[in-house]
């Protein structure tokens, strides 16, 4: 988990450098087309002479923004829907469960592609498309947790004392379901990074000249034999970030799992 935390910290640092420093990810220099990695250009240049490192840092900012915003929106929507379904039960739970099943009937990435194709490319639309795809997992998780908690003594006592439904859900149920939500969010972070890169690779995500790791891989595939660094650099960054997010999620799940700690 420590190594995963280091990789994620480097990713955040890259995003901060890419958004706050005076880089030149869009500066075209035709005499320096396909320059291999060197002391002047650590990761070389692309087909338009643009520094790959600068575009990598700018792409890190885009991927972090999309991932964090998508996970936040998905978690908020899913938590609210899951709390309502699990707490009220009955017809409310059945209706919400049917809606969740409809979303689960579609492969997640295909649904995101369809949404992005309907509302158009761009960073805002990518976030909307991924949030529409991502809230379902949080809703199912929270619903199951609330169903097992709503008959606990402290919830029944709060109901007997006249607490409102909103207060019971916010103060007596929400804190108890947040541990698995944090784990789900860490895995959702990896999924959002991959999904954003996939949409950009297909031309439905971040549009040129803005940098995106998926877009860089798409543009570099055409020159793979001539300039492999155009694909290797963003591909390796994408691989490391997704792997680190998944490993961090595994470690977080083990730390928050009280039953597994008690057996050790």
pLDDT in tens, 220-238: 999 988 889 899 999 999 9
Whichever domain contains 123, its CATH number is 1.10.3720.10
Is 149 a member of any domain? yes
Specify the length of the chain in residues.
264
Report the C-alpha gap between 142 and 26 in whole angstroms: 43
Give the SS3 label for residue 51: strand
- How remote is the C-alpha of 47 from its chain's centroid? 29
**Cβ pair 12, 190 in contact under 8 A:** no
* Predicted pLDDT of residue 237: 93
**Cβ pair 121, 204 in contact under 8 A:** yes
* Predicted pLDDT of residue 189: 92
Is 106 a member of any domain? yes
**Cβ pair 6, 38 in contact under 8 A:** no
Tokens standing for residue 129: 């498309």
* Predicted pLDDT of residue 109: 79
The H or E element that residue 84 is part of is: helix 52-88
Is 43 a member of any domain? no
Model pTM score: 0.88
Q: How many domains does the chain have?
A: 1
Is 82 a member of any domain? yes
* Predicted pLDDT of residue 68: 94
Is 17 a member of any domain? no
**Cβ pair 254, 4 in contact under 8 A:** no
168-191: buried (b, 16+ CB within 10 Å) or exposed (e) per residue? bbeebbbeebbbbbebbbbbbbbb
Is 108 a member of any domain? yes
| Cα four-point dihedral sign 11, 15, 20, 22 | positive
Is 66 a member of any domain? yes
What's the number of CA atoms in the CB half-sphere (13 Å) around residue 125?
17
Is 42 a member of any domain? no
- Residues in the chain predicted with pLDDT less than 50, given as ranges, are 260-264
Distances in Å between the Cα of 82 and the Cα atoms of 18, 28, 72, 144 are 37, 49, 15, 8
* Residue numbers of the domain that contains 203: 48-263
């Amino acid at each position: 988990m420590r190594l995963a935390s280091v990789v994620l910290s480097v990713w955040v640092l890259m995003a901060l450098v890419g958004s706050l420093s005076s880089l030149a990810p869009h500066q075209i220099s035709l005499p320096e087309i396909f320059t291999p990695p060197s002391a002047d250009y650590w990761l070389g240049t692309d087909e338009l002479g643009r520094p790959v490192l600068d575009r990598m840092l700018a792409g890190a900012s885009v991927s972090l923004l999309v991932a964090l915003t998508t996970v936040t929106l998905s978690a908020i929507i899913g938590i609210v829907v899951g709390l309502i379904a699990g707490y009220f039960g009955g017809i409310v739970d059945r209706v919400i469960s049917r809606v969740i099943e409809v979303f689960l009937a579609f492969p997640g990435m295909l649904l995101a592609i369809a949404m992005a194709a309907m509302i158009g490319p761009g960073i805002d639309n990518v976030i909307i498309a991924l949030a529409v795809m991502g809230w379902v997992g949080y809703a199912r998780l929270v619903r199951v947790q609330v169903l097992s908690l709503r008959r606990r003594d402290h919830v029944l006592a709060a109901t007997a004392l006249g607490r409102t439904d909103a207060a019971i859900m916010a103060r007596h149920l929400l804190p108890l379901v947040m541990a698995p939500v944090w784990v789900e969010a860490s895995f959702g972070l990896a999924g959002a990074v991959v999904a954003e890169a996939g949409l950009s690779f297909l031309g439905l995500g971040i549009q040129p000249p803005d940098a995106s790791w998926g877009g860089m891989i798409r543009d570099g595939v055409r020159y793979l034999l001539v300039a492999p660094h155009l694909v290797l650099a963003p591909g390796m960054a994408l691989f490391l970030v997704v792997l680190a997010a998944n490993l961090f999620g595994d470690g977080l799940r083990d730390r928050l799992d009280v039953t597994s700690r008690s057996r050790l």
